[in-house]
């Protein structure tokens, strides 16, 4: 569970900042429709954050796979 939190943290933080900015903008100018620009902006920000964060997550994902393979091997040897 801790791995999932650490892997998703950069993208979740970027989306949180984006949603806070959209909230401030809609509070300052209520004529902006949140569905017309908020959803596409959030979607674009999420994809950009994922695109930037994915190469940085490669070592962590490799370590997760290595640990899982070692665990499976130890379980198979225990039999």
Tell me what pLDDT residue 79 has. 66
Q: Are 25 and 37 within 8 A, CB to CB?
A: no
At residue 1 the predicted structure's pLDDT band, cuts being 50, 70 and 90, is low
Tell me what pLDDT residue 73 has. 94
Find the length of the chain.
Answer: 79
Put simply, whether the predicted model's pTM sits higher than 0.75 gets the answer: no
Tell me what pLDDT residue 76 has. 92
The encoded tokens of residue 51 equal: 């695109």
pLDDT by residue (tens digit) across 18-76? Answer: 999 998 988 888 787 777 888 899 999 999 999 999 898 889 899 999 999 999 999 99
């Amino acid at each position: 569970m801790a791995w999932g939190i650490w892997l998703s943290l950069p993208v979740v933080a970027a989306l949180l900042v984006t949603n806070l900015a959209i909230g401030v903008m809609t509070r300052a100018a209520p004529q902006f429709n949140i569905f017309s620009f908020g959803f596409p902006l959030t979607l674009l920000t999420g994809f950009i954050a994922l695109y930037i964060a994915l190469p940085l997550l490669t070592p962590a994902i490799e370590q997760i796979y290595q640990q899982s393979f070692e665990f499976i091997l130890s379980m198979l040897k225990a039999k």
